[in-house]
A and B are shown apart, each in its own frame.
Chain A
Amino acid sequence: MSEIRPSVLVIDDERAIRRFLRTGLEMNSFNVLEAENGAAGLREATLRNVDLIILDLALPDMDGAEILERVRSWSTVPIIVLSVRSKEAEKVRLLELGADDYITKPFGIAELIARCRAAIRRHIRGVPPSPVIHAGPLTIDLSARRITLDGEILQLSVKEYRLLQVLAQHAGNVVTQQHLLQEVWGQTHLNNAHYLRILIRKLRHKVETVPTRPQILVTELGVGYRLANPSLKKAPAD
């Protein structure tokens, strides 16, 4: 697997951004395809076999959300959205429409590469995602339903396990608060964000070295949570 370079389709109308992304991605062993507007992006996405799409929301010809929906109607290819700050509601909407993650402009290349690898890890063509997820000292074995911290088995309540399970299924990428509430408590508790805050806090006490400075269960303010530091050593892309 290691010789296959995943190909990334960059849909952005700014030439400078496309150049920067091409350089950064190629330096990190990705193949890059470019499209300068929504229509071209959709065409490329259909014709080529791409492993990841990086989609700028502000395109001249089409709304980012529309492109997202059109791609999602036939493909599960990971999509990372480039957005601007202080539009948390929009980020949440796009994540709910099927984006795998977002990154706020301006951003550094390291941050983007980490998001890309996390998203791609679950979607490598023809390879089922690994049932074992590592996040720092935490190991989540989804098939055995076993959580270990530094090798020791961790006792979790039903809801704590469920929360960790949902985050692990998206390891490295953000999961919206609404999605977590629905998965852990069900449809009727979508407005009870404080349940989530308190459960996250309990879980942090069990898994984080310093619960008030979390390194594993990271908050994305106004959007949701992210299981950070998925072990990239096991990603086939490397």
Chain B
Amino acid sequence: MPEWLPAVLARLLKSQLRPVLYGLTLVLAATVVMLVLGELFALDHVGIGYVIPVMIAATRWGIFPAILSAIACVGASAFFFYPPIYSFRVSSPQEVMDLVMFVVVAIVTGKLATSLREHLDAGRRREEEIKALYAMSKRLAAIPTESEIYAVIQEHLSTTTGCHVSLFEAGVEFSRLQELARKDRIPADVSAAMFAILEGRGEVPAGLVNGDPNDGSWIIRTLSQRRSVLGVVGIKLPRAQGTNAELMRQRIDETFAEAAATLERIDVANAINEAKLRSQADQLRDALIGSVSHELRTPLASIIGPASILIEAPAVAQDSRLLAMACLVRDEAERLNGDIQNLLDASRISSSGVRPQLAWTDAADVINAAFDRRRARLASHRLDIEMGNDLPLIHADPILVEQALGQIIDNAVKYSPPDSRIVISAREQDGRLIIDVTDEGMGLSDEERERMCERFYRSPRLEAQIRGSGLGLWIAKAFIAASGGRLEAESEGPDRGTRVVISFPVADQSLLMPAGAADE
């Protein structure tokens, strides 16, 4: 017997102790059952029953416990069931064959069961991986922005490898990458290699890159498509151990192959290019809007400001005709300012959509702001505000809602005769906060009511009498919708007044204020 055998056996026994014990217990149980059955029914060939514990041990715990169980079975059947009974001697060759059978059955089923189990495990693992990949491709397919694409890939890699993953995007400023490298604590030589690859100066290292030898080593891989590098990924391996790292790299490469296929399918390269173009167009538009806004408003400010001085100057205030002139200058300039705001808003809505800044908002504040901002223009009408003391808060963008409400009020003033009544009211009704503006003006025909929120729609009935751009309500509707609300209009018909209603869902107010939070 070689010297190393006991040691190996001991290790094997230690790791397999529990399954082996289970197997032996099964054999013991089978022996007792068969002894009892043999006594009761006087059976021959009871020994064949030992196939059962051997099979169970083989399928459940693997080959080693199965073989040990088989040996135990051989011993037990020789001792209890084959003559001479209560002795390990076996006389008949037929019975020796039976015993050999046990061992063969044990080995064969054990092997089968083990490989079956391995297949099953591998299948399950694969299923998990595919699920993760599928989840990733689903998230990628919803293509968000460029940086989100990278975030999805990075997150997927770090969950599938279980390691820290750093991803440098192509086309990002060098200083930001450096900052990222510092934040992720990437060793200098690793980040240098990553930068080199991004800039097209370096090759992807085949092996590991050792940063700080005490702190694990790094694998570098590129994320590329159609020969253009989309990003460089650095993955930090926990404490390098030869085989472990090799295995890890294999898995990362597999993940990458899968990811590359997914990326190919959803065409990330194009998406990223488009995103870049889009953001350039956005920048151009913002710059344009910014400059229009500045170029047009500065002269307007130089008209409205001095007009306000004239209006207050004693010499003008004493002469009603001069005062009226000065007021006309101011009001018309303010109207022009509103028109410019409309154009800017319209271009904002159609080019990039509205990005609301949702916040808990008191509708009373919004109504007051909309009213106060155009107090001067409202002097021609009798205006009433009706609102309860305890309106629920809404979650909306206060600025957008105020601008929308302002448009609606402007329209009410524009399309109703001087000295008529306009009522702005706010209340809670059926779980919604309702703000409505009711006038006694031109009213709406069915067609007008349906089309009034279309861009550039002007009613043929009123187009010649009242000027306008056809943008106001379209903007109002977009702003209200962006804030999660609805805009509707009703009218009993032409010349019978209009009621424009905006409404917002109301959250459960009791959730807003935990007891004692406001005051103690």
Q: Indicate if B9 sits at the interface (CB-CB under 8 A).
A: no
Complex: A110 Cα to B311 Cα, angstroms: 10
Chain A: CB-nearest residue to B511: A194
Of the listed stretches A1-9, A71-79, A101-109, A123-131, chain B binds: A101-109
Option from B304, B360, B365 in Cβ contact (under 8 Å) with A219:
B365
Complex: A201 Cα to B368 Cα, angstroms: 14
Say yes or no: A17-B362 contact (C-beta < 8 A), given A106-B297, A106-B300, A199-B519: no
Chain A: CB-nearest residue to B513: A198
Chain A contacts of B369 at CB under 8 A? 219, 221
Residues of A86-130 whose CB lies within 8 A of B = 86, 88-89, 105-110
Q: Check A109–B308 contact: CB distance below 8 A.
A: yes
Chain A contacts of B399 at CB under 8 A? 86, 88, 221-222
Option from B301, B365, B366, B387 in Cβ contact (under 8 Å) with A105:
B301
Q: Indicate if A142 sits at the interface (CB-CB under 8 A).
A: no
Of the listed stretches A31-39, A40-48, A133-141, A208-216, chain B binds: A208-216
Say yes or no: A198-B512 contact (C-beta < 8 A), given A109-B312, A157-B519, A212-B387: yes
Chain A contacts of B32 at CB under 8 A? none
Q: Check B365–A58 contact: CB distance below 8 A.
A: no
Chain A: CB-nearest residue to B301: A106
Q: Indicate if B262 sits at the interface (CB-CB under 8 A).
A: no
Q: Check A194–B393 contact: CB distance below 8 A.
A: yes
Chain B: CB-nearest residue to A89: B357
Q: Indicate if B520 sits at the interface (CB-CB under 8 A).
A: yes
Q: Indicate if B42 sits at the interface (CB-CB under 8 A).
A: no
The 0/1 profile, CB within 8 Å of B marked 1, for residues 192-206 of chain A is 111101111110010
Q: Check A159–B389 contact: CB distance below 8 A.
A: no
Q: Indicate if A155 sits at the interface (CB-CB under 8 A).
A: no
Chain B contacts of A89 at CB under 8 A? 357
Option from B301, B303, B389, B517 in Cβ contact (under 8 Å) with A212:
B389
Q: Check A21–B520 contact: CB distance below 8 A.
A: no
Q: Check A197–B360 contact: CB distance below 8 A.
A: yes
Chain B contacts of A144 at CB under 8 A? none
Chain A: CB-nearest residue to B307: A108
Q: Check B360–A194 contact: CB distance below 8 A.
A: yes
Say yes or no: A27-B512 contact (C-beta < 8 A), given A17-B301, A197-B361, A219-B362: no
Complex: A160 Cα to B520 Cα, angstroms: 10
Chain A: CB-nearest residue to B388: A212
Option from B309, B341, B389 in Cβ contact (under 8 Å) with A109:
B309
Q: Check A193–B360 contact: CB distance below 8 A.
A: yes
Helix, strand, loop or mixed for chain A's interface?
Answer: helix
In angstroms, how far is the closest chain A Cβ from the Cβ of B406? 11
Chain A contacts of B333 at CB under 8 A? 106
Q: Check B359–A193 contact: CB distance below 8 A.
A: yes
In angstroms, how far is the closest chain B Cβ from the Cβ of A170? 19
Chain A contacts of B518 at CB under 8 A? 159, 195, 198-199, 202
The 0/1 profile, CB within 8 Å of B marked 1, for residues 152-175 of chain A is 000001111000000000000000
Quick one: which of B303, B368, B388 has the most chain A CB within 10 A? B368
Q: Check B309–A219 contact: CB distance below 8 A.
A: no
Chain A contacts of B334 at CB under 8 A? 106
Q: Indicate if A14 sits at the interface (CB-CB under 8 A).
A: yes
Q: Indicate if B380 sits at the interface (CB-CB under 8 A).
A: no
Q: Indicate if B436 sits at the interface (CB-CB under 8 A).
A: no
Q: Check B305–A108 contact: CB distance below 8 A.
A: yes
Q: Check A110–B312 contact: CB distance below 8 A.
A: yes
Complex: A198 Cα to B393 Cα, angstroms: 9
Q: Check A109–B305 contact: CB distance below 8 A.
A: yes
In angstroms, how far is the closest chain B Cβ from the Cβ of A83? 11
Chain B contacts of A159 at CB under 8 A? 518-520
Complex: A108 Cα to B306 Cα, angstroms: 8
Q: Indicate if B298 sits at the interface (CB-CB under 8 A).
A: yes
Q: Indicate if B417 sits at the interface (CB-CB under 8 A).
A: no
Q: Indicate if B251 sits at the interface (CB-CB under 8 A).
A: no
Q: Check A221–B402 contact: CB distance below 8 A.
A: yes
Q: Check B357–A20 contact: CB distance below 8 A.
A: no
Option from B364, B389, B398 in Cβ contact (under 8 Å) with A222:
B398
The 0/1 profile, CB within 8 Å of A marked 1, for residues 345-361 of chain B is 00000000000010111
Quick one: which of A14, A107, A194, A213 has the most chain B CB within 10 A? A194
In angstroms, how far is the closest chain B Cβ from the Cβ of A63? 13
Q: Indicate if A24 sits at the interface (CB-CB under 8 A).
A: yes
Chain A: CB-nearest residue to B391: A212
Chain A contacts of B403 at CB under 8 A? 86
Q: Indicate if A23 sits at the interface (CB-CB under 8 A).
A: yes
Option from B297, B298, B362, B402 in Cβ contact (under 8 Å) with A197:
B362
Chain A contacts of B445 at CB under 8 A? none
Q: Indicate if B45 sits at the interface (CB-CB under 8 A).
A: no
Chain B: CB-nearest residue to A24: B309
Q: Indicate if B178 sits at the interface (CB-CB under 8 A).
A: no
Chain B contacts of A214 at CB under 8 A? 368
Q: Check B305–A106 contact: CB distance below 8 A.
A: yes
Chain A contacts of B301 at CB under 8 A? 14, 17, 20, 105-107
Q: Check A160–B519 contact: CB distance below 8 A.
A: yes
Chain B contacts of A84 at CB under 8 A? 293-294, 297
Complex: A194 Cα to B402 Cα, angstroms: 18
Q: Check B308–A108 contact: CB distance below 8 A.
A: yes
In angstroms, how far is the closest chain A Cβ from the Cβ of B417? 26
Complex: A24 Cα to B302 Cα, angstroms: 12
Chain B: CB-nearest residue to A15: B302
In angstroms, how far is the closest chain A Cβ from the Cβ of B327? 11
Query: What are 12 A-B contacts defined by CB distance under 8 Å?
Result: A14-B302, A17-B305, A20-B302, A27-B313, A106-B303, A107-B305, A108-B308, A212-B364, A212-B387, A219-B362, A221-B365, A222-B357
Which 7 residue pairs are nearest across A and B when measured between Cβ atoms? A108-B308, A16-B302, A194-B360, A106-B301, A106-B304, A219-B365, A20-B305
